[in-house]
Amino acid sequence: MTRFDQHRPPSREVETSIFQYIVAAIFLWLLTGFWQLQVQDPEVYEQRATLNSVKSLPIPAPRGRILDRDGRVLVDNIQTFRMMLSKDAVRAESALLIAEGLNIPYEELVDRLGTVGIQRGPDYQQVVLKDGLPLSEVAFFEAHRGELPELELIRSPRRRYPLNGMAAHMLGYVGQISKAQLNLEEFVLHESGAEIGKAGIERRYNDFLVGKDGRRLVLVDSRSRRVRDLNREEAEPGQTLRLTIDLDLQVVADLAMGDRRGAVVALDPRNGEILAMVSKPAFDVNAFVGGVTEAAWRNVARDPDKPMLNRATQAQLAPGSIFKPFVALAGLMEGAVDKDFQVLCTGGASFYGRYFRCHRAGGHGWVNMEEALRVSCDVYFYNLGKELGIDRIAKYAELAGFGSRTDIDLPAEAEGIVPSSRWKIRFFRDKWYAGETISVSIGQGALTITPLQAAHAIGGLAMGGVWHRPRLIADREAAKILANYSPPEPRRAEITEEQLEPIVRGMWRVVNDGGTGVRAMIPGRSVCGKTGSAQRISRTLAFENDDPRLLDDGWFIAFAPCEAPEIVVSVLFENGEHGSWAAPIARDVIKAYFDKQERRAQPRRQPDQPAAPQTAKAEISRP
């Protein structure tokens, strides 16, 4: 005690009480912190806590299946794994690991992460990073789940299309909705990241095929490991769509076309139902599902053969001689000629100071309408065209459906062109020169049509003037999926038996009487047809150029049976040189149609026959 100052106060009262005030002040200061967080606005932090621990994961709804007219599956779904990326959790550090594990090129990934960062959604949104993950990548994710909270793996159904691009153009394909499509009225119900039909039936009937995605609220820990499900809203699958397509005919048409460029359309003229639709070259749609790489897309888009083009509805080409039946119809209905009117073909004729050649240099001699159709005499139709004038030709061409969309239920159908004096003034601000009519009367000049229009037009003519709107969904099916659906009224014209007869007879002789379409002949069946060989450029130019892409296009239109048509086929064989080369393709399809009818007509079961082949047959026709 002696070491210490005796006169000091017993303790450091002033200092210690100052310290007490400091303690009190600090504690009050700390308390205000808790007051602000816990009493003033705890909701903010409760929300943040929920965002932390509750993940909302989509349960993708399977799209509806697409069936053929007999119920056979054309488009189905398979289960795959899909990697989702949370927009608001993307970290730059993760990119390298993700790129390595999911086999995405690093630059591409960074590029995509960058755009994801920019287009921040209004709230917690996820985009598809990769679809159809192989099991090795699924394993990678499971191993690195804790390091990659921005990723989430979900099961998702994936579209499975027919192999080798069969019916690819008609069926279309699905893909993630693009930024431009988000603004279209067609896709108003879809959000960013949604899978939509991008083409064909998939696009046209997207609203029916698309289901309603479910949602799953999952409680996760800080390492994104699932603790438990909080809430589950199941997905509603999309509606099944049954098409008018007959898979048997589609396969035959596809095989018959082989590697040729062109298109085949088969339809039932009695109701407009499309039985087969082929466009070649095709592309493997399965490669498009789940996002297509830019390089692969460029390849397809820049291919000079234009595999993405649905030639059946989008190729607009001069019809050549397959237009002649419609000129004949105009001539008969306008009374410009009768069926016995004859023309002397000497291999060409002069009109308005220009010499127009017939395709047969030696000429056909005296020909009437029937014969002119059989041998496809140009001089006969030059004269008939001159007699009619362009506007009367255009009137009947338009009546047959040329020059406007057939309104088939496929997107982006082409219109083609039916030239007329009005058309000339409207688009060229010029008057029609009579010389131009001569070319149009044999299906050349400015006239262009699509293979679908060809089938539609000749079908309606063969039916005696009843043009049904071509359709891929039968009325019965459409009534099921569409509210207050009423079948569209066919377009009609009064064609008398006398007017129709010479045309049908002429077309019958094309196939069955040594005409240009003998390759379409089917013994025991009455098939009517007409070939067409349409020039792409003038003969002289074609002679100078040795480009196979400048060769004439071959066309063939046919219907059968001639007296009561059940099937119409139109074939376009690009650069096929002559329509007679397109004829066998049409024959194959028509033959397949009648063969199938015959098979069906046979009695289903015979009492003394073993049961096994019977069931096998039933499975094939109706699985």
Partner 1 sequence: MNEQYSWRDFDWTLLLVALLIAALGALEVYSATLSTPWHDAYLRQILWIGLGLGLMWVASTIDYHWLVQHAPTFYVLTLVGLVGVLLFGTVVNGSRRWLPIPGLVNLQVSEFAKIMLVLLVARLFAELPKGRLDLSTLFKAGFIFLIPLVLVARQPDLSTSLSFLPILGMGIFLTGLPRKYIAVGLVAATLAAPVGWFLLSDYQKDRVTAFMNPEEDPRGKGYQALQSKIAVGSGGIWGQGFARGTQTQLRFIPEAHTDFVFASYAEETGFAGVLIVLTLYFGLLMRIVNNAQTAADPAGTQICMAVAALLLFQITVNVGMVVNKMPVTGMPLPLMSYGGSNTLTVFILLGLVNNVRIRRFTN
Q: Which residues bind partner 1 (CB under 8 A)?
A: 1, 3-5, 8, 11-13, 15-16, 19-20, 22-24, 26-27, 29-31, 33-39, 41-42, 44-46, 48-50, 52-53, 89, 91, 219-223, 227
Distances (CA, A) of 288 to 186, 190, 383: 21, 20, 52
CB nearer to partner 1: give 31 or 541: 31
Instruction: At 140, give phi and psi (nearest 5°).
Output: -60, -45
CB nearer to partner 1: give 41 or 100: 41
- Strand 214-220 relative to strand 54-59, pairing: antiparallel
CB nearer to partner 1: give 25 or 255: 25
Name residue 54's amino acid. Answer: V
Residue for token pair 């007509």: 601
d(CA 601, CA 135): 49
CB nearer to partner 1: give 220 or 452: 220
d(CA 356, CA 345): 11
As measured in angstroms, the least distance from the Cβ of 55 to partner 1 is: 11
Instruction: At 130, give phi and psi (nearest 5°).
Output: -155, 140
CB nearer to partner 1: give 219 or 479: 219
For 532, the 3-state DSSP assignment is strand
Catalytic residue among 86, 94, 279, 321: 321
CB nearer to partner 1: give 15 or 142: 15
As measured in angstroms, the least distance from the Cβ of 4 to partner 1 is: 6
Residue 488: DSSP 8-state: P
As measured in angstroms, the least distance from the Cβ of 108 to partner 1 is: 23
> What are the b/e assignments for 409-437, b being 16+ CB within 10 Å?
bbbebbebbbbbbebbeeeeeeebeeebb
Residue for token pair 């007051």: 35
Distances (CA, A) of 500 to 159, 332, 367, 399, 464: 47, 9, 18, 15, 7
CB nearer to partner 1: give 26 or 189: 26
As measured in angstroms, the least distance from the Cβ of 148 to partner 1 is: 12
CB nearer to partner 1: give 40 or 136: 40
- Give catalytic status of residue 136 as yes or no: no
Q: Where are the beta strands (DSSP E) in 87-132?
A: 126-131
As measured in angstroms, the least distance from the Cβ of 49 to partner 1 is: 4
Instruction: At 93, give phi and psi (nearest 5°).
Output: -65, -30
d(CA 471, CA 479): 13
As measured in angstroms, the least distance from the Cβ of 114 to partner 1 is: 17
d(CA 529, CA 458): 10
> What are the b/e assignments for 85-120, b being 16+ CB within 10 Å?
bbbebbeeebbeebbebbebeeeebbebbeebeeee
d(CA 171, CA 565): 27
Quote the distance between the C-alpha of residue 387 and its chain's center.
42
d(CA 214, CA 93): 32
CB nearer to partner 1: give 51 or 189: 51
As measured in angstroms, the least distance from the Cβ of 42 to partner 1 is: 4
As measured in angstroms, the least distance from the Cβ of 13 to partner 1 is: 7
- Strand 126-131 relative to strand 226-233, pairing: unpaired
As measured in angstroms, the least distance from the Cβ of 147 to partner 1 is: 12
CB 459 within 8 A of CB 486: no
Token digits for 556? 């063939």
As measured in angstroms, the least distance from the Cβ of 474 to partner 1 is: 55
CB nearer to partner 1: give 5 or 494: 5
- Strand 348-351 relative to strand 262-268, pairing: unpaired
Neighbouring residues of 266: CB distance < 8 A, sequence distance ≥ 6:
249, 253, 274, 275, 276, 277, 455, 567, 568, 569, 589, 593
Catalytic residues: 321
